[in-house]
Structure 1
Amino acid sequence: MANDVVVVLDCGATNVRAIAVDANGRIVAKSVLSNATQPAQENPTWHVWALDEIMGKLGRCCREIREALNGADARVVGLTVTSFGVDGTLLDAEGNLLYPVISWKCPRTASVMADIRKYIDPDRLQRVSGVGHFTFNTIYKLIWLKENRPELVARATTWLFISSLINFRLTGVRSTDRTMAGTSQLLDLNSGTFSEEILACVGIEPTLFPSMEAPGTVLGTLQSEAAGLLGLPAGLPVTSSGHDTQFALFGSGAGMNQPVLSSGTWEILMVRSAHVDTAALTGFPGSTCELDATPGYFNPGLQWLASGVLEWLRETCWKDTDSATVYTRMMEEAEKVPRGCNGVRMIPDLLIGELGSGAGALSGLSIATSRGHLYRAALEALAEKLAGQLRELEEIGRFEASELIIVGGGSKNHLWNQIKADAIQRPVRAVAENETTVLGAALYAFFGLGRFSSPDAARASVHHDYALFEPGSADLQPIPSQGN
């Protein structure tokens, strides 16, 4: 079993990857290609995904890891697919795409969300589905198609999310990844099934959605045409995964009621919970709740702009600094500034629209203020934002956090991690492994292939490394920590 690997096909918004992972969570081989949307034919400002192009890139990535797999004497025993949420499209009876995959980046659905009240009360929509009001939600794409291309909806026999579209190309089987469905704003969150109420309100037939499959389910086997594209043997089992966020949570090592912060341009704070107060969600801007990878559990969460604020400062104050050293320079200058930034304060609300008012501000400036003050003030303001969001998440999920796990690019900023630990007055664990999404998907795949008795048993075979940041530490360097 030591040389057996699962290949995870990871379709991200920025990159597509093929990554081989063994049963102990070690990455054996990896290949990456950039991914990008295409302009829609009708309007160049609209964004769509070209599925054929994505499949071609996944095939190239998969073929490129063959040499590394051969060198490691690794045997591929299965495939699984993970991707970003909400996006998908309609298929006809023969399996042809009736319309390109509308991207979550596409602005065409903003007006649909603005007018959703003509179909259903927006608060009711979130109370039933759990999912927050984001213009990219699947429900708004389907309504746009109904309103603008009703003849295609009439011809359609199936809606497939993008992970399921890839699975369909691999196996010929139509299915619905459970965690992808959880991002759609079309489910009844508590039952875990498509909501009859919501579908009736927007005029969508429930038969449009194939059977919902839990992560780890064997969907089918790799068909000969897809095998040729990937350079892998036909007949390999293909297991269900789905939405990348859920597998990042699982792959981070987080247990139940242990919140995880995915820190990047946006920060997404989520938790694996047995309880969620869906009525409370409507009172918190940016709140959402999705289905956990494990049936019966939920992932309530909140999101806000984070590193995007820091990038704005980098562009404004360190524009001429070499890109290879700029982040180190920024941290070094901020570390020279005492806590409290000599009275310099920042309101980091730089967004305009549904998740912000564009009311960002700096105060307490003087002739002695340096750009290091500004950067540290942003770190402290964002950490205070995190502390408030964590309190709200505890209320929504009805739990009390003992510590916080951080994954993503922001987790590499040791100064920010320490400031966060001080702000929330709890230990912060920064995960050393960058590929938590891929790891989580691979572990579910090994479970589905019968290598482990449960996903948790699969995860127990993995050693997780962390850097630990204790609140109130005078030393801002991370304390090495190891654990499962």
Structure 2
Amino acid sequence: TNVRAIAVDRQGKIVARAATPNASDIAAENSAWHQWSLEAILQRFADCCQRLSSQLAACQIRGIAVTTFGVDGALVDKNGKQLYPVISWKCPRTAAVIENIHRYMSPQQLQEISGVGAFSFNTLYKLVWLKENHPQLLEQAHAWLFISSLINQRLTGEFTTDITMAGTTQMLDIQQRDFSQDILQATGIPRRLFPRLVEAGEQIGVLQREAASQLGLPEGIPVISAGHDTQFALFGAGAQQDEPVLSSGTWEILMVRSAQVNTSLLSHYAGSTCELDSQAGLNNPGMQWLASGVLEWVRKLLWTADTPWQTLIDEARDIPAGAEGVKMHCDLLACQNAGWQGVTLNTNRGHFYR
């Protein structure tokens, strides 16, 4: 929901920060579909970096790391040019794919191998959708790059796959920490699409001249893999092994850093998932729900873009706990019956936000 640039010192103290809102676009093919403009994201990223330049004038920048949301990415040619737009995790086009995935492999087996839960936005379903609808693109493609790798490729010219991003795909063998031959073979997705795996903290390359100019930074700065934002948040929270963390943002994710996980149990729990930790040897089993993404949706529906957040909060506080019977069935991504219940002629926007 936002693009940020944050500068931190050796002790992890924030020296400067800038942020700007981010939004997906409506796809030209279908007005119900959502996609991301990589160029728009890069421009927002550049704008944020440029806004930090005066505050960092006396600093030596020793490294750049990009962390993004998982699952989304794009097929690219050998020059890094996109062959098809980045399908957003919000896009409903993959709902039919997940419903029919049993034609390739059972959902239970997929989660037992990968750890990742059955969410329609998983990378697996995007690639199956592309294979079923645009098979020529998979044949032409040099690589599949996740959002973070698309940005890193623009920064360095290097094609890489961050291991924590791969861990969100539902195509990895979580025990082997590599793409599952069984899943790829069953779905017909070629392994060659995924460039070299890099661990979080590993150097990808250095900032190239053109990208440095766009960001307002010196060229040659080391670019370090940081990968998936969930794992970045777990690490940043300072959580130790076997210590649970609630990461609250667009998604609400309750995870723990664990040395072992019984993936065969996960499919018995709706909303369960397991991703690879940023530290090799640890996994992150957990549960996830759509969280502030719903609040931001309600805000866009019922308030103007310049309404202060405090106004929303104050109106919600005027409504008693329980919202006078107004409830929401929250499985917004998978259930056609999702939505509001208990709405009357006396319901106002404060009820919805409460």
For normalisation by structure 1, the TM-score amounts to: 0.65
The offset of 1:273, in angstroms, is: 0.8
**2:74 aligned with 1:74:** no
Q: How far has the Cα of 1:146 moved from its partner?
A: 0.8
Partner amino acid, structure 1, of 2:331: L
Counterpart of 1:198 (choices 183, 198, 211) is: 183
1:94 Cα deviation after fit? 2.9
Contact 1:130 1:290 in 2 (8 A): yes
- 1:7 alignment counterpart: none
Going from structure 1 to structure 2, the CA distance change for 1:35 and 1:265 (only over 3 Å counts) comes to closer
Cα distance in 2 for partners of 1:236, 1:312 equals: 38
More deviation, 253-262/38-47 = 38-47
Shift of 1:81: 0.4
Per the alignment, residue 199 of structure 2 pairs with: 214
Conserved? CA contact 1:350–1:357, under 8 Å: no
| Separation of aligned partners in 1, 2:223 and 2:289 | 35
From 162, 174, 199, the equivalent of 1:177 is 162
Aligned partner of 2:71 among 56, 67, 86? 86
Q: Which whole-Å CA distance do the structure 1 matches of 2:318 and 2:269 have between them?
A: 35
2:354 aligned with 1:354, yes or no?
no
The aligned counterpart of 2:109 is 124
Distance in 2 (CA, whole Å) between partners of 1:209 and 1:311 is 34
Contact kept? 2:124, 2:170, Cα under 8 Å: yes
155 and 315 in structure 1: CA distance in 2 versus 1, 3 angstrom threshold: closer
Q: Matched residue of 2:54: which SS?
A: helix
Amino acid at match of 1:81: V
C-alpha separation in 2, matches of 1:310 and 1:22: 33
Give the counterpart of 2:32 among 35, 45, 48: 45
Residues 38-94 of structure 1, C-alpha deviations (whole Å, 9 max, x = no match): 222222221111112221221121111001112xx2221111101010011111223
Q: Deviations over 1:385-427 (max 9, x none)?
A: xxxxxxxxxxxxxxxxxxxxxxxxxxxxxxxxxxxxxxxxxxx
Q: Does 1:276 align with 2:298?
A: no
The unaligned stretches of length 5 or more in structure 2 are 343-347
Task: Work out the CA distance in 1 between the residues paired with 2:298 and 2:195.
Answer: 46
Between Structure 1 and Structure 2, how many residues are aligned? 344
C-alpha distance 192-39 of structure 1, shift in aligned 2 (>3 A): same
CA RMSD between the two structures: 3.0
What is residue 125 of structure 2 aligned with on the other side? 140
- CA distance in structure 2 between the partners assigned to 1:275 and 1:297 by the alignment: 7
Which residue of the partner structure matches residue 453 of structure 1? none
Partner of 1:394: none
Task: Structure 1: give runs of 5+ residues left out of the alignment.
Answer: 1-13, 363-370, 379-484
In the alignment, is residue 29 of structure 1 matched against residue 16 of structure 2? Answer: yes
Tell me by how many angstroms 1:358 deviates. 4.6
Aligned to 1:242: 227
* 1:63 corresponds to 2:50: yes
Secondary structure of 1:20 counterpart: strand
Q: Secondary structure at the match of 2:61?
A: strand
- Rate the CA distance shift 1:351–1:170 in 2: closer, same or farther, 3 A: same
- Equivalent position of 1:475 in the other structure: none
Structure-2 change in CA distance of 1:243 and 1:322 (3 Å): closer
Alpha carbons 2:3, 2:41 under 8 Å: kept = yes
- Helix, strand or coil at the partner of 2:200: coil
Q: Between 29-38 and 180-189, report the one with greater CA deviation.
A: 29-38
Q: Does 1:233 align with 2:213?
A: no
